[in-house]
Amino acid sequence: MTKFVLVLACCVLVGCGSAKKAISESSMSIYERAGSSLEASTEIYKLAQSNVAPDAAKASPQFVNAHDQIQTLALRITTDQQSIQSNVNSIQSNLTRVEDTTPWWARMTSNLAVAGIVIGIIILLWQTGLGMLVKKIVWSLGMFIPKNTMRSAEADLKMLDSDDAMAQREAVAIRRTSDPAYEAARKKLKQRNNT
């Protein structure tokens, strides 16, 4: 189980990187390498143009051919590197309009985790009896009292304030309709008293 959790955590963390940051870092690395390559190709071109080679080597057609190829290739490298640097600058300027987004599965996982935590807290409160304690505290503040309980309490207060038999019957009727357990207990007691 521990290995599964570790693998799952690694998979989640892999998706946590910023794509915008990765693109920016990669393009800067390309730009730096293109600059270094550009300097090298410029040096090659300068060396190819210099007259350092002995006259005997210059007379050789192979040397002249190689010399011309080196100059052509050096110019091509220089042009390519300049083009790469230009493209990197374009990427950097367009990168400001790119935004990192969270993948759908990461959002879903996050929502499921939050839902699991909420459900876990509710179950914990229910199983430990702390839920009833929270209810009592909220009820003592006069908040979220059930409507049927309020009606029953009003009828009981009305019954206590007067000796009217009608108020007593009304209080019992309200309690019977609002609390099924009370009604079942009343029927059981009535049957026991009748026998």
Query: How many independent structural domains does the chain possess?
Result: 2
Tokens representing 97 are 């309009």
Q: Is residue 160 part of a domain?
A: yes
DSSP 141: T
Residues 86, 24, single domain; the answer is yes
Q: Is residue 115 part of a domain?
A: no
Residues 88, 157, single domain; the answer is no
Q: Is residue 177 part of a domain?
A: yes
Task: Measure Cα distances from 79 to 52, 87, 91 in Å.
Answer: 25, 12, 18
Q: Is residue 60 part of a domain?
A: yes
pLDDT tens digits for range 106-129 = 899 999 999 999 999 988 888 888
Q: Is residue 186 part of a domain?
A: yes
CA distance 61 to 65: 6
Domain boundary among 79, 97, 115: 97
Q: Is residue 136 part of a domain?
A: no
Q: Is residue 91 part of a domain?
A: yes
Secondary structure (DSSP) of 42-95: HHHHHHHHS--S-HHHHHSHHHHHHHHHHHHHHHHHHHHHHHHHHHHHHHHHHH
State which residues of the chain have pLDDT below 70: 1-19, 50-59
Residues 22, 87, single domain; the answer is yes
Query: What pLDDT sits at residue 89?
Result: 82
Boundaries of domain holding 87: 18-97
List of residues 6+ apart from 58 with CB closer than 8 A? 64
Q: Is residue 151 part of a domain?
A: yes
CA distance 177 to 191: 19
